[in-house]
Amino acid sequence: MSHYKPDPNKNVNLTIDGIAVTVPEGTRILEAARKVNVCIPTLCEHPDLCKRGVCRLCVVECDGRGKLLAACANDVWEGVNIVTNNLRILGIRKMIVELLLANHPQECLSCIRSTNCELQTLAADFGIRESPFRHDAADRRPPVIESETLVRDMNKCVKCGRCVEACQEVQTIRSINSSCRSIHYGISAPYHQSLAEGPCVFCGQCAAVCPVGAIYGHDQTAEAWIALNDKNCHTVIQIVPSLSTAVNDALDLPAGTVSPGVMITALKRLGFDQVFNSEIVMNAATAKENGELLNRIKNGGKLPMITVCSAGGIKFIADSYPDLSAHLSPCSQSQQMLSALARTADSSPITAITVSACIAQKFKYLRSAAHSPDGHDTGLTLTVSEIVRMFRQGGVNVAGLPEAPFDVFPGEAPPENKTNFENLRDIQEGIQKSEINLQGTKIKLLTVYGFAPARLIMDSIRKGECDASLVHIMSCPWTGGQQPCKNSN
């Protein structure tokens, strides 16, 4: 067992490719190199995950010794002279990429990650057009669609282990792990079950960290086109106004080209009957939840009341804390709320589509018939990338379109959400504490980012130690100040 504990207040002097640099003790070779603008190629390394040193692409020479060290997994030390780039190192890195390609389906053209794949970028950077190693296409297993949310194509897995760590350590769900040995080594759920049969909550964090097209969000643009072309179906869509910025960026247009109004016109050109503002739907959902919460407080109902950002949170409680399921709010998710609010005067079926930045929103998990959408209505969630694909497929040139207003819901306007947030405190270990004022009643709210902190809170509820009245579980972990919900692909 190692007793090495770096002291971040102590500095270490070293050279990288002959350039002198001083960094705090405990700095990885990779980070020290970046400080002097030396970019060592990586594949298994990910800034939000632990050191692992699996792929060996980042190897460097230290003090001229024959043994190479993984720059992502080893810290610098006083006086070391590091070489990141010579013929030997380049040759090793190139061979690693060639070996990975030899075992990889040769179908970049049709891969969802094409142009956004770390292996493809490495192959291009090393000038590899063809792997000199034999490619055996006979073992190709078909990709598996999991609960209409994720696609797993293990033929493309480069065995970096990022997804396993995201699931096991970051989310503590432990749905997937490495399995088998040698050429059969891969990533799977226990006994090669489907993800839905195990504890998977379809948070999409495995897809968010996968460097290649081995795990990704299920593309539902074909289903959306079918709904749009069904003359008997009323197809509505809800968007958050701020998503227009993400669409703007995805289309690589000058800042401000795609405003919410331009998005509305573009979506109508695709054939949507009505385009609604998600904020109004969310306000209506929150107002309903607030009513349920006040009712529980006044009448001694189960507290804290638990709300979730996606259906994965409901499955998490059903799988891991079934004894606490009465704490869940019975209110509908925003997709079902959209369907109910958009109900037309005639009784044509509604397809309610939500655009979200997050693939976790695609997952549907119904607690009971009472939580299913109205009889014949259907719904699906498209990510920003999917909606951009639809603009391209439908030939809608978004730049220069006129603006249009959001549609208004028929009948009564949905109630406004009058929640006042107070005393928002810093996030600690993924848990944000706030106080909200609901019609004069002060309520303690815990917002929990990711399933690891959610487990802490659920355990405290079980022990009767949670003094909050409301707990909101977000599927995505808080990653060092970055916004969660970054798993759209």
Answer for which of 53, 261, 291, 394 binds ligand FES (CB under 6 A) is 53
CA dist., res. 399 & res. 403, Å (int): 11
Q: Quote the CA–CA distance of 435 and 439 in Å, as a whole number.
A: 13
* DSSP assignments along 408-421, one per residue: --SSSPPPP---EE
Q: Spell out, one character per residue from 276 to 305, where the chain touches ligand FES: x when CB under 6 A holds, - when not.
A: ------------------------------
Q: Which of 28, 29, 33, 45 binds ligand FES (CB under 6 A)?
A: 45
Give me the least distance between CB of 196 and ligand SF4, in Å please. 9
**Peptide linkage before 322 cis (omega within 30 of 0):** no
At its nearest, how many Å lie between ligand SF4 and the CB of residue 162?
4
Q: Which residue type is seen at 107?
A: E
Smaller CB separation from ligand SF4, 339 or 487: 487
Residue 59 contacts ligand SF4 per CB under 6 A: no
Kindly report the backbone phi and psi dihedral angles of residue 409, in degrees, each rounded to the nearest multiple of 5, phi listed first: -70, 145
241 binds ligand FES (CB under 6 A): no
Residue that is written with structure tokens 């432990």 in the block: 174
The piece of 74-82, 97-105, 193-201, 295-303 that touches ligand SF4 (CB under 6 A) is 193-201
Contacts of 341 (CB under 8 A, 6+ apart): 276, 281, 284, 409, 414
Write down the residue that tokens 């197809």 correspond to.
235
**Judged by CB under 6 A, does residue 387 bind ligand SF4?**
no
Residue 203 interacting entry, from ligand SF4, ligand FES, none, C-beta within 5 to 8 Å by type: ligand SF4
**CB nearer ligand FES, residue 65 or residue 463:** 65
In the sheet that holds 274-277, the strands lie side by side as 274-277, 234-239, 350-356, 378-383
x-or-dash string of contact with ligand FES, 64-93, rule CB under 6 A: ------x-x---------------------
By beta-carbon proximity to ligand FES, the closer residue of 70 and 206 is 70
Confirm or reject binding of residue 453 to ligand SF4 (CB under 6 A). no
Q: Which residues pair with 447 in a beta bridge?
A: 432, 472
User: Residue 343, interface with ligand FES (CB under 6 A)?
Assistant: no
Segment interacting with ligand FES, rule: CB under 6 A, options 37-45, 108-116, 200-208, 244-252: 37-45
CB of 84 or CB of 171, closer to ligand SF4: 171
115-174 positions binding ligand SF4, by CB under 6 A: 157-163, 166-167, 171, 173
Residue 250, interface with ligand FES (CB under 6 A)?
no
Instruction: Specify which residues 216 forms β-bridges with.
Output: 151
| Strands 350-356, 234-239: pairing kind | parallel
Q: Write down the least CB distance from residue 32 to ligand FES, Å.
A: 14
Give the range of 30-38, 207-215, 252-260, 262-270 binding ligand SF4 by CB under 6 A.
207-215
Quick one: 21 or 54, whose CB is closer to ligand FES?
Answer: 54
Cα separations in angstroms, 144 against 38, 152, 155, 159, 175: 39, 5, 11, 18, 16
Distances (CA, A) of 274 to 86, 266, 293, 303, 411: 60, 12, 32, 38, 15
- Residue 331: CB minimum distance to ligand SF4, A: 24
Residue 215 contacts ligand SF4 per CB under 6 A: yes
For the chain, the residue count is 489
Q: Is 365 in the site for ligand SF4 (CB under 6 A)?
A: no
Helix axes 451-462, 311-320, angle to 10 degrees: 50
Q: Name which of 470, 472, 446 is nearest 304 in CA terms.
A: 470
Q: Tell me the site size for ligand FES, rule CB under 6 A.
A: 12
Q: Which residue of 56, 94, 159, 444 would you call a contact of ligand FES, by CB under 6 A?
A: 56
Q: Please, are residues 97 and 55 in contact by the beta-carbon 8 Å criterion?
A: no
Site membership for ligand SF4, residue 16 (CB under 6 A): no
Cβ-based nearer residue to ligand SF4, 175 or 286? 175
Q: Does 358 bind ligand SF4 (CB under 6 A)?
A: no
Q: Which range touches ligand FES (CB under 6 A), out of 1-9, 48-56, 282-290, 403-411?
A: 48-56
Q: What is the CB-side half-sphere exposure of residue 319 using CA atoms within 13 A?
A: 20
Choice from 21, 54, 83, 108 touching ligand FES (CB under 6 A): 54
Per-residue burial over 80-103, b if 16 or more Cβ lie within 10 Å, else e, is bebbbbeeebeeebbebbbebbeb
309 touches ligand SF4 by CB under 6 A: no
β-strand pairing of 177-179 with 186-188? antiparallel
Q: Across the strands, what pairs with 433?
A: 446
**Residues found near ligand FES in the complex (CB under 6 A):** 42-45, 53-58, 70, 72
**Residues found near ligand SF4 in the complex (CB under 6 A):** 157-163, 166-167, 171, 173, 175-176, 187, 195, 200-206, 209-212, 214-215
